Amino acid sequence: MFYVYEWYIVDTGEIIYVGKGIRNRYKCRKHNRIFAEFLKRYNCDSRIVKYFDREEDAFLYEAEHMAELKSKGYCVCNILKGGFGGENKIWTEEKRREYSEHNVMKADYQRKRMSENNPMRNKATARIVAEKVSRKVCIGENIYPSGKEAAEAFNVTPQAIFYWLKRGYSPNHEACYYYGDEVPEFKVLDRRCSKVKKPVLIDGVKYESVKAASRVIGGSSSSLCRAIIEGRTFKGHECRYV
């Protein structure tokens, strides 16, 4: 007994995949990369749509049903057109040729779209990609054409510049951001504060130093110091300098 089945998003009812199978094929969760991505993002389930005595009839309905759904914008996970294949898992030359002919990724319109969006072939697309990769970087009062050139100016790696951009300031405490973005607000942590004996209040109780307080509430003195500077709680305790 053959059948045609559907995979769909439970919450919306959108049909994402149509296939033909026998036995427990409709429960198979391995089809292609796009299908796998949908299973990660959405709550999906499968169902059998129609049964057939002959495999040829099942293939015919699979192709017709898929074509109808694709015309409505569904079946986004179907890479092949459907209506061919079978239970034979041996890749003969005839099967390879048939698979290639039905692969929508090799259709003329798909090849054209991929060519137009390929930065190696389209100069306009290449320019857009290059602009995204080579965004101007501002460090303090200076503007650099790219992160790579900023790295060369500071004699560091491009990864270091990326880290400065992410946190918003350089090791010299200068604002670090992409040109065109807002200047970030940042707080530079004084990592030496745990060595300075400054009285602190933990839940209203006074301690002579951060180190003394950390012994009581647990955790490292540097972590407690950082929490005080950033104005947040530490291990559920309200903490600040006297």
pLDDT of residue 78: 87
CB 74 within 8 A of CB 65: no
Residue 194, pLDDT > 60, answer no
Round to the nearest angstrom and report the end-to-end CA distance of the chain: 80
Report which residue type is found at 214. Answer: S
Residue 84, pLDDT > 70, answer no
Residue scoring higher pLDDT (95 or 1): 1
Phi, psi of 174 (to 5 degrees): -105, 145
pLDDT of residue 192: 46
Check residue 185 and report its DSSP letter. P
Place 191 in a pLDDT band, splitting at 50, 70 and 90.
very low
What is the residue extent of each domain of the chain? 2-102, 134-178, 193-241
In whole angstroms, give the CA distance from residue 62 to residue 15. 13
Least confident of 35-49, 57-71, 88-102, 137-151: 88-102
> pLDDT per residue over 204-240, tens digit each?
888 888 888 888 888 888 788 888 877 788 888 888 8
Above pLDDT 90, what percent of the chain? 21
pLDDT of residue 234: 86
Q: Which residues on adjacent β-strands are paired with residue 80?
A: 103
CA distances 149 to 105, 136, 146, 242, Å, are: 39, 9, 5, 45
Contacts of 48 (CB under 8 A, 6+ apart): 3, 4, 5, 26
SS3 for 194? Answer: helix
pLDDT of residue 102: 62
pLDDT of residue 159: 83
- Enter the pTM of the model: 0.38
Sign of CA dihedral 155, 156, 158, 160: negative
Residue scoring higher pLDDT (157 or 47): 47
The helix or strand, by DSSP H or E, that contains position 3, with its residue range, turns out to be: strand 2-9
Cβ–Cβ contacts within 10 Å for residue 150, how many? 25
CA distances 214 to 20, 194, 195, 199, 223, Å, are: 65, 10, 12, 12, 9
Residue 73, pLDDT > 50, answer yes
Residue scoring higher pLDDT (235 or 52): 52
Q: Once rounded to an integer, what is the mean pLDDT over residues 90-107?
A: 64
In whole angstroms, give the CA distance from residue 61 to residue 164. 58
In whole angstroms, give the CA distance from residue 135 to residue 89. 50
> pLDDT per residue over 35-50, tens digit each?
998 999 899 999 999 9
Residue scoring higher pLDDT (46 or 167): 46
In whole angstroms, give the CA distance from residue 16 to residue 21. 16
> pLDDT per residue over 112-121, tens digit each?
766 666 655 6
Q: Once rounded to an integer, what is the mean pLDDT over residues 14-43?
A: 90
Sign of CA dihedral 9, 10, 14, 19: positive
> pLDDT per residue over 175-184, tens digit each?
899 988 888 8
Sign of CA dihedral 71, 77, 79, 84: negative
